[in-house]
Amino acid sequence: MKPPPKPTFSELFKEDLREHGSLLAADAVKMLLLFVAPSIVLVGLKLMAELGHPSIWLDRAELVDSFVVFAMILILSFDTLGKMLALTFSGWRTWFETHSQTSS
């Protein structure tokens, strides 16, 4: 029996690109969902400030909105760091397995 042909460079590139592309698309959708609502709130607060509403209420609302955005940035940072570490370890494990098989 003839062994199956080795995948070409373009086939390997397509698979790798598909995996990383899906991760980037997921991050982009997550960022869109996390930042649209606070951005709308912030625009509304700035509009209310221009219309002359009480400033103590606006200051507190802006403070809460700032904390929410800061928390979202932290969540996205830890999520991205986790994905990078997971991809690094899985790539390292795959590399180690392929090189240990070829050296035997």
pLDDT digit string (tens) for 57-82? Answer: 778 888 888 888 888 888 888 888 88
The structure tokens listed for 1 are: 């029996």
pLDDT digit string (tens) for 25-37? Answer: 777 787 787 788 8
Q: What is the pTM of this model?
A: 0.55
Q: How far apart, in whole angstroms, are the C-alpha atoms of residue 13 and residue 61? A: 48
Q: How far apart, in whole angstroms, are the C-alpha atoms of residue 55 and residue 59? A: 6
Q: What is the pLDDT of residue 17?
A: 67
Provide the residue ranges of all domains of the chain, joining segments of one domain with +.
26-103
Helices 9-51 and 55-103, packing angle to 10 deg: 170
